[in-house]
Amino acid sequence: METNATHHADLHRDDTAAKIGMWLFIFTEILLFGGLFIVYSVYRYRNPEAFHLAHEELSIPIGFINTVILLVSSATVAIAISAIQKNDRKMTMILLGITLLLAFTFLVNKYFEWGAKFEHQMYPGSDLMKNLSHGDTLFFSLYFFMTGLHAVHIIVGMILLIVSLVRVKLGTIRSNQYAMLENSGLYWHLVDLIWIFLFPLFYLIH
Amino acid sequence: MASGRFNLDFPLPIVLSYSLIRTTTMSEDKLHIVPFKNHIMVLLTLIVLTILTVAITSIDLGPYNTAAALVIATIKIILVLMYFMHLRFDQVIYRIMAIMVLCIYSAVIIVTFLDYLNR
């Protein structure tokens, strides 16, 4: 056990505890979105036709592009962690920069996607929606709520990655001390995990 | 000896998990650096699976469309959890926690649908 001494040289630092804490937080997030997925499944089970018709309003190409963007950004974060472990700070910063750029692109796509929906009166409470069935309203309420909550998570993830990027630049995140980068990375992968289920459930399934 | 029944004791997992943390910090010292190439391979697999999902759901398979999409999505999250989130290389305790959460969530899904499907 004494070999651990070098690993925990700083008494005020416990990377394992920090990481377990991050995982526990991620589990609460999974259950939060998990609950919403159950709500979606139950409403879809009760309004199959309305959900089928409503889902055709969503653009599969945009959803697909956004999926690929998130997958690539997840990979760049994972590689950034390998880079910091190899003490390659420049590479780490480049990869985090690419990740942030991809995250921003995702949000821009989302902005245009949502904008088009609002233009076509496809939001809960619009005049068009009032004439459609209850199922359509439910579908679009869930669509806006779940993708909206996901977008909030993207923004939080971006803030965490920006802080990590600055700290890599300052040298407070380095090859023997990168728990913050690792935990921000875990959060970013969570955002990816959620989207992996959001994409087929809202865009593809009929 | 009664060591075969050891696993039945409820408090044991807690003791075990503590020992897991202790013993595996040793192996954590042997830092596992995942080569860039491996992450790229995982990424390509994920993209191929995404294309496969789009392809499968564009043909009409009736109720199997949903099932196929969910199975592929599950394979994708397992890849992300194991490789990008390092569960495969990290201490066992994280893997145990993740499996427990997925079991709890599955139980909630099963109970909810047992209710709705039998109303």
pLDDT at A4 over 90: no
> Do A176 and A122 form a contact (C-beta atoms < 8 A)?
no
> Do A184 and A157 form a contact (C-beta atoms < 8 A)?
yes
Sorted by sequence, the CB contacts under 8 Å of residue A102 that are 6+ apart come out as: A69, A70, A72, A73, A76
Nearest to B36 among A30, A31, A79 (CB): A79
Q: Å from B4 to nearest chain A CA?
A: 28
pLDDT of residue A7: 53
Query: What is the sign, positive or negative, of the torsion defined by CA atoms of A127, A130, A134, A135?
Result: negative
Tens of pLDDT, residues A54-91: 888 899 999 999 999 999 999 999 999 999 999 999 99
- Per the structure, the complete domain to which residue A157 belongs is given by 4-204
Between chain A and chain B, the number of residue pairs with CB atoms below 8 A apart is 118
Task: Enumerate the domain spans of chain B.
Answer: 33-117
> Do A136 and A54 form a contact (C-beta atoms < 8 A)?
yes
Tens-level pLDDT at each residue, chain B (119 residues): 444 444 444 444 554 555 455 444 444 445 788 999 999 999 999 999 999 999 998 888 877 888 999 999 999 999 999 999 999 999 999 999 999 999 999 999 999 999 998 88
Q: Which of B54, B104, B108, B116 to mutate to test the interface with A (most CBs of A within 10 A)?
A: B54
Q: Which two tokens stand for residue B51?
A: 């294309």
**Nearest-angstrom CA–CA distance, A142 and A166:** 36
**What ipTM was reported for this prediction?**
0.89
Number of domains in chain A: 1
- Which residue of chain B comes nearest to A200, CA vs CA? B69
**Nearest-angstrom CA–CA distance, B18 and A8:** 18
Q: What share of chain A is helix, strand, coil (3-state, %, to 5)?
A: 80, 0, 15
Residue A171, classed as helix, strand or coil, is coil
- Whole-model pTM? 0.86
- Which CATH number characterizes residue A170's domain? 1.20.120.80
Q: Which two tokens stand for residue A93?
A: 């910063």
Q: How confident is the model at residue A173 (pLDDT cuts 50, 70, 90)?
A: very high
Query: Mind giving me the DSSP string for chain B?
Result: -GGGGGGG-TTHHHHHHHHHHHHHHHHHHS--PPPHHHHHHHHHHHHHHHHHHHHHHHS--TTHHHHHHHHHHHHHHHHIIIIIT-TTTS-HHHHHHHHHHHHHHHHHHHHHHHHHHT-
Give B17's contacts in chain A (Cβ within 8 Å).
Answer: none
Chain B, 18 to 57: residues with Cβ < 8 Å from chain A are 21-22, 25-26, 28-29, 31, 33-36, 39-40, 42-43, 46-47, 50, 53-54, 57
